[in-house]
Amino acid sequence: MKTSLNLALPASARERYALTWSLPVGAVGLIVLVLLGASAISDFRSLRRARTALDKVRQEEAQTRAQEAALRQELERPQLREIYRYSRLINGVIGKREFSTLQLMEKMTALLPGDTRLDGLGMDLESPDRMLRLAVSAEQEESLEKFLVNLEDSPDFADVSVISHGLPAEGDSGAELATAACMVRYVGGGPKAP
Rounded CA gap, 20 and 127, in Å?
Answer: 112
Model confidence at 38, pLDDT cuts 50, 70, 90, reads: very high
Rounded CA gap, 114 and 110, in Å?
Answer: 10
Residue 186 has pLDDT above 70, yes or no: yes
Rounded CA gap, 134 and 132, in Å?
Answer: 6
Q: Is the pTM here over 0.75, yes or no?
A: no
Report the DSSP pairing between strands 131-138 and 116-123.
antiparallel
CB 188 within 8 A of CB 156: yes
Closest among 108, 115, 111 to 178, alpha carbons compared: 115
Q: What is the pLDDT of residues 65-118, one digit of tens each?
A: 999 999 888 877 777 777 877 788 777 766 666 667 778 888 888 888 888 888
What confidence score (pLDDT) does residue 116 get? Answer: 87
**What type of residue sits at position 114?**
G
**What type of residue sits at position 73?**
Q
CB 169 within 8 A of CB 183: no
Neighbours of 130 (CB within 10 A): 19
Q: What is the dihedral of CA 38, 44, 45, 46, to 10 degrees?
A: 110
Helix, strand, coil shares of the chain, percent, nearest 5, are: 55, 20, 25
Distance between first and last Cα of the chain: 126
What Cα–Cα distance (Å) separates residue 35 from each residue in 25, 31, 38, 98?
15, 6, 5, 75
Residue 190 has pLDDT above 60, yes or no: no
